[in-house]
Amino acid sequence: GTFRNDLANGKGKITYPDGSTYDGQWVDGIIEGDGRATYPNGVVYEGRFKNARNDGEGVMTYADGYQYNGTWKDGQRDGTGTATYPDGTVYNGGFKDGLRDGTGKITMADGFVYEGQWSKGQIEGKGTATYSNSDVYEGMFQSGKRHGTGTMRYGSGEAVTGEWVNGALQQQDKQPDSEQPQQVNEQPSTASE
């Protein structure tokens, strides 16, 4: 690549002893600007770098098929993006410090869909969950479970509104008998970010 004062400046490529590569922009010997990094474990990142870290718009793809396309800050998913998991699950929405945060929608391979608020990687706050059996819950969530005021509309047409605690309706005569609370894992088991 190009050098100035014995430091990489401009476009250049480097291959590290472990097999990792970087091809892109450099400023005063530091990876900065647009580039493409590859790693021995099959991970590829293509996008913006700042101070040798993913920062700005970029796409990271893992060997198992997991992909994140969106905004990065200091090496973490941060801002708005889309995460696509190997099983077909797709999350589109906000991220903070590498975790789902703010408003987002997840559509899982089994048909479960949640759209609403997230905090620190968990379903948290107001949202709507549509279960694979066609039941729909609209209301409050805490730690990924129905918690607080909400309405469950069952596929049968029945609807019940009430207070939920830890996934269970506190009005015992309308207790759902078939639906267990859905847990959503934040990270794919084979990907480490």
CA dist 172 and 169 (Å) reads 7
| Residue 191 domain-assigned (yes or no) | no
Residues 165 and 102 reside in one and the same domain? yes
**Domain presence at residue 82:** yes
18 and 79 assigned to the same domain? yes
Each residue's pLDDT, cut to its tens digit, for the chain (193 residues) gives: 777 778 889 999 999 999 999 999 999 999 999 999 999 999 999 999 999 999 999 999 999 999 999 999 999 999 999 999 999 999 999 999 999 999 999 999 999 999 999 999 999 999 999 999 999 999 999 999 999 999 999 999 999 999 999 999 996 444 444 444 444 444 443 333 3
Q: How many domains does the chain have?
A: 2
pLDDT of residue 139: 98
Residues 2 and 77 placed together within one structural domain of the fold? yes
pTM above 0.95, yes or no: no
Q: DSSP string of 125-172? A: EEEEEE-TTS-EEEEEEETTEEEEEEEEE-TTS-EEEEEEETTEES-G
| Same domain? 1 vs 81 | yes
Write the pLDDT tens digit of every residue in 62-100. Answer: 999 999 999 999 999 999 999 999 999 999 999 999 999
One-letter amino acid at 134 equals: S
User: Domain range for residue 22?
Assistant: 1-86
Cα 156 from chain centroid?
A: 33
Do residues 129 and 117 make contact, with C-beta atoms less than 8 angstroms apart? no
Closest by alpha carbon to 19, among 1, 42, 3, 2? 42
